[in-house]
């Protein structure tokens, strides 16, 4: 008997969770969108700056995603190194992830006075052609953000929603994948000066949601099922390493016009968010923006130009607390 069957049978007699109890007092998604139309605008693409500058920039902590702490491997779970993983494609891999998440008993929504703690690792670029533009990354690994960030929610110019807004919006996303993806594009529209295809916009928006912490398990399951239908989304047929050296599932999509692909990394133990990578897909010389000092770097297929891992995420009672 496989572990997924054991998990289902273990809770076979448990009543179905009441969605109204998962997020008491949650706002409807339409209210979240109407009250915060600003969305997450695409920032200037990081590959338009020199690698030296990019290495010195701290990647913004977007409020984590996984409901389960993936900082330490588990001996049991929905997927193990013993061969229970299915990396044959988006429908199989993400469908299996969704099945597991739907079997979980959801934790309560955090209180408005609680904080979201995350810990991250940002790795140095891994380049075949070493040069003197590669710099040391400086960042604070620990981050605390208020769950109910009233200042962020009221600031119409802020393009980062609070964890509370994202939790409630995600919890009300529809079951139908096409409808869900349309809502995601409403939540995370493209910037006027940064055009992108509909599929690229959709994958980017889904990535923001998947990084978000916390999300109700059923909400994350719906997101995974919908992501499997996005054109160009693929699953790497082997586990990859995140910035913390952990093995991870890579959900990928080519970034049009960049010679690179974006990789969302998931834990092979509980399917929670593990990190992010950008990987070069073909040899090319990256042109630095006009007026930027430095030599145009030569990039080789397989180079990892950005890699980040989240090693912990938790709801805590006060800023500075750790689980």
Q: State the greatest distance between any 2 C-alpha atoms of the chain, in Å, as a whole number.
A: 66
Name residues of the chain where pLDDT drops below 50: 1-76, 81-82, 156-158
State whether residue 140 is helix, strand or coil: coil
Question: What does the alpha-carbon distance between residue 79 and residue 271 come to, in Å, rounded to a whole number?
Answer: 8
- Nearest Cα to Cα of residue 208 among 21, 323, 42, 68: 42
Question: What does the alpha-carbon distance between residue 42 and residue 168 come to, in Å, rounded to a whole number?
Answer: 22
Q: What is the pTM of this model?
A: 0.74
pLDDT in tens, 237-252: 999 999 999 999 999 9
List the Cα angle 214/219/223 in 5-degree steps. 105
pLDDT for 178: 98
pLDDT for 107: 93
The answer to whether 247 touches 278, Cβ cutoff 8 Å, is: no
């Amino acid at each position: 008997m496989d572990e997924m069957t054991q998990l289902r049978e273990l809770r076979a007699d448990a009543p179905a969770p009441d969605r109204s109890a998962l997020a008491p007092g949650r706002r409807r998604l339409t209210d979240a969108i109407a009250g915060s139309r600003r969305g997450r605008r695409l920032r200037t693409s990081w590959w338009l700056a020199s690698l030296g500058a990019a290495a010195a920039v701290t990647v913004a902590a977007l409020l984590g995603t996984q409901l389960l702490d993936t900082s330490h491997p588990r001996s049991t779970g929905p997927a193990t190194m013993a061969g229970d993983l299915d990396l044959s494609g988006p429908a199989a891999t993400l469908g299996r992830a969704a099945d597991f998440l739907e079997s979980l008993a959801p934790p309560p929504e955090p209180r408005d006075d609680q904080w979201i703690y995350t810990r991250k690792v940002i790795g140095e670029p891994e380049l075949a052609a070493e040069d003197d533009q590669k710099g040391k990354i400086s960042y604070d690994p620990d981050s605390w953000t208020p769950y109910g960030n009233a200042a962020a929610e009221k600031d119409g110019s802020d393009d980062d929603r609070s964890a509370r807004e994202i939790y409630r919006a995600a919890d009300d996303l529809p079951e139908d994948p096409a409808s869900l993806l349309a809502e995601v594009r409403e939540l995370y529209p493209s910037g006027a000066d940064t055009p992108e295809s509909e599929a690229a916009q959709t994958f980017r928006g889904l990535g923001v949601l998947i990084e978000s912490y916390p999300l109700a398990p059923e909400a994350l399951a719906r997101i995974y099922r919908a992501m499997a239908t996005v054109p160009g989304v693929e699953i790497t047929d082997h586990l990859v390493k995140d910035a913390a050296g952990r093995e991870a599932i890579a959900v990928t999509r080519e970034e049009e016009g960049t010679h690179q692909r974006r990789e969302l990394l998931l834990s092979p133990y509980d399917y929670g968010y593990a990190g992010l990578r950008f990987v070069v897909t073909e040899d090319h010389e990256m042109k630095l923006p006009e007026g930027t000092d430095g030599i145009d770097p030569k990039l080789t297929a397989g180079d990892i130009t950005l890699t980040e891992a989240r090693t912990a995420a938790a709801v805590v009672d006060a800023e500075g607390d750790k689980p």
